[in-house]
Structure 1
Amino acid sequence: MAETSTTTELPVDDKIYVEASEARKFIEDVLEGNSVSKSNASIVARCLVAADLRGVDTHGINRIPSYMARVRNGVLDATASPDITKVTPVVAQVDGRNGFGFLAAEAGMRTACEMAREFGIGMVSVKHSNHFGMSAWIVQQAIDAGMMSLVFTNSSPALPVFGGKSKLMGVSPIACGAPGGKEKPFILDMAPSVAARGKIYKAKRRGEKIPLDWALDAEGRPTDDPAAALEGVMLPMGGPKGSALAIMMDVFSGVLSGSAFAGGVTGPYDPSKPSDVGHFLVAIKPDLFMSLDEFRERMDVLYQRVVGSDKAAGVDRIYFPGEIEQLTQEQREKTGIPLVQAEIDALNEEAKKIGKPLLAVKGK
């Protein structure tokens, strides 16, 4: 997800930097060595590196080992490409065929944008998919096509419903976006939990603690231990509001698509069976009710009013949704993607298994 992390950052000297181009090439090599076609490997690599560039490290290239474990266990089909079926002129369904979620979502949004370009709106339901990483890359795909968008997905159980105590709903992101004019576009990508679950996995991997308000342990007590948090439950943001948003993701992504729902989705770190994730994607042509120029001008006014608002005490700058991540991308395109040695080692183990080159890091 795209929230700003509040985990303790490691000292700069402990970070190892990788150029985005090297990261993409490494992922493509690893994927192709695991039976993924060249064109499909390119899509997955681009989407994973996009997350790292935007600072959403929980959904970047460090996901490769868990994806490859699922491939090796036969619960994710590395050779599959999605099937697209038109239902009406503005509605389509994508069958992910248990392949990479990135491929199903990319095909779904591409189809939605094509329909919206002709008819003003396009809606796509995706079934039998897998984890598709950071939702913002799909929103960006629509923005690059000049479209507004809605991006929903469901996910494996991690949240209790409000008033409950057991895992039932997923930490399922809700995302949407709209192109801007001269200013930055609007990109919202958020989880219905206090924090994305990937941040807890990241903290565990890096030996960091988490804030006490993120999760409960198996006994229902607040914990700063990421391992204990993963044995317990995530906490929804805003109590019943976050819980209701998580249920909404299941309605649109799981129930509607014919995929798993109500706690039936298998998580991306569980190599025991297919995930059966569902997605729901909508593309909207922004000049349906006015000229495109007028729409872009109005978006610029909104941006300027938001970032130019009177600041509360202690606030140095107000950001438009998605702007922090866009600024992070601008910086990381220059400095490279920061990783820690444990992440480098895990990635290189995947390369060694198939005789591919190790990940090239800056300065070495």
Structure 2
Amino acid sequence: MSETLIYPVEALKDYVSRFFIALNVPEIDARIAADVLVSADLRGINSHGVIRLHSYYGDRLMKGAIDPTSSVQVIQESPATLALDGGNGLGQVVAYRAMSRCIELADQAGLAITTVRNSNHYGIAAYYAMMALPEDMIGISLTNSQPLVAPTFGRTAVLGTNPIAVAIPAGAEMPYVLDMATSIVSIGRITVHQKSGQPIPAGWGINAQGELTQAPEEVLQGGALLPLGGPAELRGYKGYGLSLLVDLLSGVLSGAAYGNHVGHPGKKSTADVGHFFAAIKIENFRPVDAFKADMDDYIRMLKATPKIPGQDRIYIHGEKEFENEKNYREHGVPLLSEIVESLVSAGQVVGVPFDLEAL
């Protein structure tokens, strides 16, 4: 049975930063990447947190498949649009800078869209959508990813998990923050089950023969995730459509790779991941205070809906994650012992000992 260990937030961030710096990532970029990764664990999305530090980011940096010092280049720009080349840099750093520029454009134009090609896996999509919240803007963050999902009635992984994230500010209530894979789950959730020795729920994935399986190893070794939603006989047709939409906007529109052309950890070649960001300035449509008042009213209306038996609360998207973050910032970040062991091993490889003391 896995043990859970608790670590201080800032100490964990510092370790992740030092890990990246040891792999020639500039300090300012290392701190951005560390903040994104630890933010995933803070929000309870451990599938996209430090569990991937060595297995994805460190491994690809050491193989030369990610450029630790590349800069983001402008391909073309207009008052409300921006097309960028990520220079095969760390996805977190590329995405952070792209969304920052998108917000700057939206502040002047009222709304803006930014596309990115030649990037890498960027962690949790919500991080970048939420960057718009302090500016009283709506943020949108999409990305394609390595092929892990079979299309409806297919048995080969062609699509990515291709997440959708949208962040919308409220007043007294917590913001609405949707962050969802267009597959039933992310591949990281499968990895977490594998590391903890637990079977996956029925319907999450298929094996190499296209049959439903509850063995995480069969999904990871030649199988595929299933698209989001729909009964088993339809195999997630709606999720398939959403995944394709994300790839069209992130991959085809940006000029990045798409579908099964997107690179993955097993390849040394560049991943050429594509991103799509948008920022909408609320005051260009109506007064911000009035908008937030309506958001609060809507959220309270939803929460006041009569509950089904056995349930006493209705959540708004992002609410559980905000509560996790508040709790973990105060009491420390929980990590499975298997993840801690992987951090120890990773530290030995790059010469940065994982010497944090658990709380």
TM-score range, shorter chain: over 0.9
Distance 2:164 2:150 in 1: 18
Q: Is the 8 A contact 1:303 1:320 kept in 2?
A: yes
Amino acid at match of 1:276: D
Amino acid at match of 2:312: D
Of all paired residues, the percent bearing the same amino acid is 32
Which residue in the other structure is 2:100 paired with? Answer: 110
Which string of whole-angstrom CA distances, capped at 9 and with x for unpartnered residues, describes residues 271-328 of structure 1? Answer: 5321110000000001122111111111111111111211122222100011011111
2:141 equivalent to 1:151: yes
Q: Secondary structure at the match of 2:345?
A: helix
Alignment of 1:1-364 (within 5 A): 14-66=3-55, 67-230=57-220, 231-238=222-229, 239-267=236-264, 269-363=265-359
Amino acid at match of 2:241: A
Q: Is the 8 A contact 1:69 1:271 kept in 2?
A: no
State the shift of 1:215 in Å: 0.5
Q: Secondary structure at the match of 2:282?
A: coil
Amino acid at match of 2:5: I
State the shift of 1:64 in Å: 0.7
Greater shift after overlay, 71-80 or 40-49?
71-80
Matched residue count: 351
State the shift of 1:243 in Å: 0.5
Distance 1:144 1:352 in 2: 39
State the shift of 1:86 in Å: 4.8
Q: Secondary structure at the match of 1:76?
A: coil
Q: Secondary structure at the match of 1:62?
A: helix
Q: Secondary structure at the match of 2:213?
A: coil
Aligned-residue Cα RMSD (Å) equals 1.4
Distance 1:284 1:317 in 2: 31
Amino acid at match of 1:345: E
Which residue in the other structure is 1:5 paired with? Answer: none
Q: Is the 8 A contact 1:78 1:100 kept in 2?
A: yes
